Structure 1
Amino acid sequence: MSVSVDYRAEARADQATQAEQRRLDAAAAERRRQDRQRADDERAARLDGQRAADKARRRAERAVRRERMLTPQNVYRVGTLALVVASGLASLPAQVLHFVDISAMLLPLPLSLEGAAWVMAAGVAFADSRHLAAWVRWLLRLFVMAAASFAASVNYGYGTGLSNLSPAERSTAGIGLAAVTLLGPLLFEVRQWVCTLAAAGDDTPEARSARRHQRLRRRHHRAVARTADRLVSAAPLGTLPSEDAWARAWAIETGADCPGMTPRLHRRAVQSAAALEAALTPTPKTTGKRQKKTETSAERSTHDLQESADPAAPAVGSAPVVVALPVPRPVGFLKPSPSLKPPAASKSVRPVTVAAQSARPARRATGRLPQSARPARRPARTPAELLTEARQATAGWPDEHLTADRIRRAVHTSSERARTLRDTLHAERTTPAVKP
């Protein structure tokens, strides 16, 4: 009895387990179905998004392409080409009919005329693109105008020779055919001219500045430019850069290593430096009276320095001084007669009034001062003496006061030597002393 009960319990447990397993399998299958459905929905949404993005991209590309095609530049280029083609189509049949009426063997002649005109016009465009010489382009333009003019004369004759039209209509037809024949090459030439100007205007500011600088440099320094061109042409192709050739030519023509400097500019620089040094050099202060006396003495010539005035002489305008002068005694070659007596007045002294001479004013120098009259110059100092004086003068100076200008004023030397002394003193202060 207990065995049957256990069997039934196990059977019910197995059934419950199987039911639970079926429920779990069904739930798992439902989840898989939902996952597949979700993945399909996501894939469909992604595809829809991609299709919408591709459609928008294509629409944007078409808009950009349409905008690019409708720019004034493209409209002008395409429109000009369309007018040129229309002009050729309008002028060619009249030429063909004209020459065919004369002879069927002349059929290639109108094609040759139109072809020559358009080939020469294309040659003008090619010469512009390759920046050929101007005479080449004008020669090609001359050929274009010659061919177009001959074709226009043929068309004008054909239009005026139509018999089924009135005289006014024949004249209008002839003028129209001639005008349309010349219109095509003229429009093409204007188009090429405008495109060339536009291409020249598309350059960057740097390129325009470089060309302007090159033109100015060659115009201002023609001799250097000719020498540089000769150096470049003499060297193998591509081995000598233009800037190196210019530097060499500058050194050859002016003798200066720095481009832009010339002997005249070097002289001006030296004069300016000397004037600055003289302006910055302090001068001793003297009174106006002593300075005037020194200048007067320096300006006198040798004759004035030797002929100085007597300090005891009276001033100009003073009272006359009476000086006793002896009466001159007559002297003859004949002996005096005994009967003649010397005059009594000969023993006396006649007073003569003589005006005292005044001191002459000092004259300005009329010649070069002698070496003896010039002020003594300070002997030139050696670099060692200058360094010793600079050490003594700057012994108590701090490092921030150790400048070239202060050293120059302290030892009275040039700016270049002052800079050398400054560097030497800085090096001595920064370098530690070596102990023996």
Structure 2
Amino acid sequence: MASFAEDRRQDRAAEAEQRRIDQAAAEARRVERVRAADERAARLREQQRAEKDAARKARAERRTELGASLTAGNVYRKGTLALVTASALGSLPAQVLHFAGISPMLLPLPLAIEGAAWVMAAGVAYADERGLPSWVRWFLRLLVVAAAGFAASINYAYGTHLPGLSASDARAAGIGLAAVTLLGPLLFEIRQWVTTLSAKTGSAEDKARRRHDRRRRRQHRSIASLADRFVSAAPFGELSFEDAFAHAWEIETGTDTPGMTPKLHRRAVRSTAALAEAQRPSAVRPRVEARRGGWFRRSRPIDPAPITESVDTSINRSTADLEESTPAPLVPIEAPVALPAPVVIDLGKAVEPVPVGAVAAESVRPRRATGRVPDVARSSRPVRTADELLDEARSATADWSIGELTAEGIRKAVRTSPAKARVLRETLRTERATGPDEAAA
């Protein structure tokens, strides 16, 4: 009994396991079906989106093509052809009826007259395209005017004799037929003229290039003429004008840089030198002070060494120490010399002649030298070295304080120049501050 119950329990467990497996398989199949349906829906949406994009792109292309076809040039060209066609359709029936009313045998005449006008107008366009001489184009235009004028006269006569019209209406019909006959060839000729001018003018870049060529030939006539000679001397198409112009420029100016000349090279060198001089430090670059006495006097450099001054009194200091300009010396004005009393001369008495002798004129003031005094005329002065000057300055200022060490005082004491006195002043002050032994070291 126990074995039966155990078997029954095992059977039920196996059935439950099988149901679980079946349910899992069914769920997997359901998920797979849902995924496949989603993929089909996504592909369908992607296809619809692609179709919409293609339709939108096609509409945009059509709009672009329509906009491109509606440009001013296309409208003018196509509109002119439409007006020419309407003019031909308006003038040809009147000529056909006119000649057919005279005789059926004259029916080809309207086609020949109207065709001659249009064929000659096309000949003008062909002559413009091929660049034929101008007399050919004007001859073809004369033929166009003759054929169109004859057709216009026929249409005017036909319009004025239309039955059932008043005089004013008949005249208006004749003028309208004659005008529409002349209008077609005239519009075609204007269209051809505008097209030719447009082809010659070109784009904005072509205009700028032609303007540049004209300016180059105007500003560099000799070089452009030499370049033309090089181009004409070379075989056709082997030498371009640009290469010939560059070669001619190098021959005329000696440089291969466009626009540069020897004069401009000299200016560039001068400018470079001036810039280098201006960029030098101010302590290194000597200042130049021009001497008085004219524009052609030589200049002398000024000592660029900075002058340092200490706080000191103004007693026994030179004008250079005081940093003041020396006033111009006052020249005393000489008192006027009293004139002698006038001498009364008796005209009736004979006057003895005064002997004239060579008397040297007395100079009021000594004559200043006008040039360089020669060395032999100068007074000989012993030249002292820097060490001798320093020893004399030390001896003369041994009992001076640092405040009394001024350039003017030292100059008076040792009788030297202001520049050397300043050097001595700085040396003595340094020795007083650091000691003689340390300064000598």
The TM-score range, normalised by the shorter chain, is: 0.5 to 0.7
Cα distance change on mapping 1:11 and 1:268 into 2, 3 Å: closer
> What is aligned with 2:38?
38
Q: CA 1:133 to 1:226, structure 2 compared with 1: closer, same or farther past 3 Å?
A: farther
Where does structure 2 lack aligned partners over 5 or more consecutive residues?
278-286, 298-351, 362-441
Deviates more, 1:154-163 or 1:209-218: 154-163
The 1:215–1:120 alpha-carbon spacing in structure 2 relative to 1, beyond 3 Å, is farther
- More displaced, 16-25 or 194-203? 194-203
Structure 2 residue 26 is matched with structure 1 residue 11: no
Letter in 2 for 1:244: D
Q: Counterpart of 1:61? A: 61
Q: How many residues align?
A: 297
State the shift of 1:15 in Å. Answer: 1.6
Which residue of the partner structure matches residue 353 of structure 1? 355
Contact 1:88–1:181 at 8 Å: present in 2 too?
yes
Alpha-carbon distance, 1:357 to partner: 10
Alpha-carbon distance in structure 2 between the residues aligned to 1:117 and 1:39: 71
Partner of 1:310: none
Partner residue in 2 for 1:189: 189
Cα 1:16–1:133 change in 2 (3 A) is farther
Task: Provide the C-alpha distance between the structure 1 equivalents of 2:114 and 2:217, rounded to a whole number of angstroms.
Answer: 45
Residue 28 of structure 1 aligns with an amino acid whose one-letter code is A
1:134-153 aligned within 5 A: 134-153=134-153
Q: In the alignment, is the contact (CA less than 8 A) between 2:201 and 2:207 conserved in 1? A: no
- Following TM superposition, by how much is the alpha carbon of 1:22 offset from its aligned partner in structure 2, in angstroms? 1.7
* Residue matched to 2:320: none
Within 2, Cα distance between the matches of 1:285 and 1:258? 42
Does the aligned pair in 2 maintain the 1:121–1:188 contact within 8 Å? yes
Matched, 1:245 2:247: no
Contact 2:246 2:258 in 1 (8 A): no
Aligned counterparts, 1:158-307, within 5 A:
158-197=158-197, 203-204=203-204, 206-249=205-248, 254=252, 256=254, 288=293
Query: Is the Cα–Cα contact under 8 Å of residues 80 and 188 in structure 1 kept in the other structure?
Result: yes
Structure 1 residue 33 displacement after superposition: 1.9
Of all paired residues, the percent bearing the same amino acid is 49
Deviation of 1:358 (Å)? 10
Q: Matched residues in 1 for 2:111 and 2:223: separation?
A: 55
Contact 1:80/1:187 (CA < 8 Å) preserved in 2? yes
Quickly say closer, same or farther: Cα 1:9–1:163, change in 2 above 3 A.
same
Check the 8 A contact 1:247/1:257 in 2, yes or no: no
SS at match of 1:209: helix
Structure-2 residue corresponding to 1:411: none
What one-letter code is carried by the residue in structure 1 that aligns with 2:233? Answer: A
Please list the CA deviations of residues 129-168 of structure 1 after superposition, one character each: whole Å capped at 9, or x if unmatched: 5666655544443333333222212222332344554443
1:70-110 Cα shifts (integer Å, max 9, x gaps): 44443333332221111110011122233334444443333
Q: What amino acid is aligned across from residue 96 of structure 1 in structure 2? A: V
Please tell me the residue identity of whatever aligns with 1:114: E
Given that 1:155 and 1:177 are in contact with CA atoms closer than 8 Å, whether structure 2 keeps it comes out as yes
Q: CA separation of 1:241/1:73 partners in 2, compared to 1, >3 Å: closer, same or farther?
A: closer
Q: Aligned pair in 2 of structure 1 residues 87, 44: CA closer, same or farther (>3 Å)?
A: same
Residues 13-43 of structure 1, C-alpha deviations (whole Å, 9 max, x = no match): 3322221122112111211221122123222
Instruction: Supply the distance in 1 between the matched residues of 2:4 and 2:22 (Cα, whole angstroms).
Output: 27
Choose 132-141 or 46-55, whichever is displaced more: 132-141
Residue range with higher mean Cα deviation, 99-108 or 175-184: 99-108
Match for residue 422 of structure 1? none
Q: TM-score, structure 2 length as denominator?
A: 0.54
Letter in 1 for 2:216: R
Once the two structures are superposed, what CA deviation does each residue of 1:170-205 show, in whole Å capped at 9, x if it has no partner?
32222111100111122223334444555666613x
How large is the Cα RMSD of the aligned pairs? 4.4
Aligned residue number for residue 52 of structure 2 = 52
The more displaced of 220-229 and 169-178 is: 220-229
**Is the alpha carbon distance of 1:48 and 1:168 closer, same or farther for their aligned partners in structure 2, counting shifts above 3 Å?**
same
Which residue matches 2:91? 91
Q: How far apart, in 1, do the equivalents of 2:259 and 2:104 lie?
A: 77
TM-score under structure 1 normalisation? 0.54
One-letter code of the match for 1:81?
A: L
CA distance in 2, matches of 1:154, 1:358: 126
Q: Distance in 1 between matches of 2:44 and 2:34?
A: 15
> SS in structure 2 opposite 1:353?
coil
Residue 226 (structure 1) shift:
4.2
> Aligned pair in 2 of structure 1 residues 166, 259: CA closer, same or farther (>3 Å)?
farther
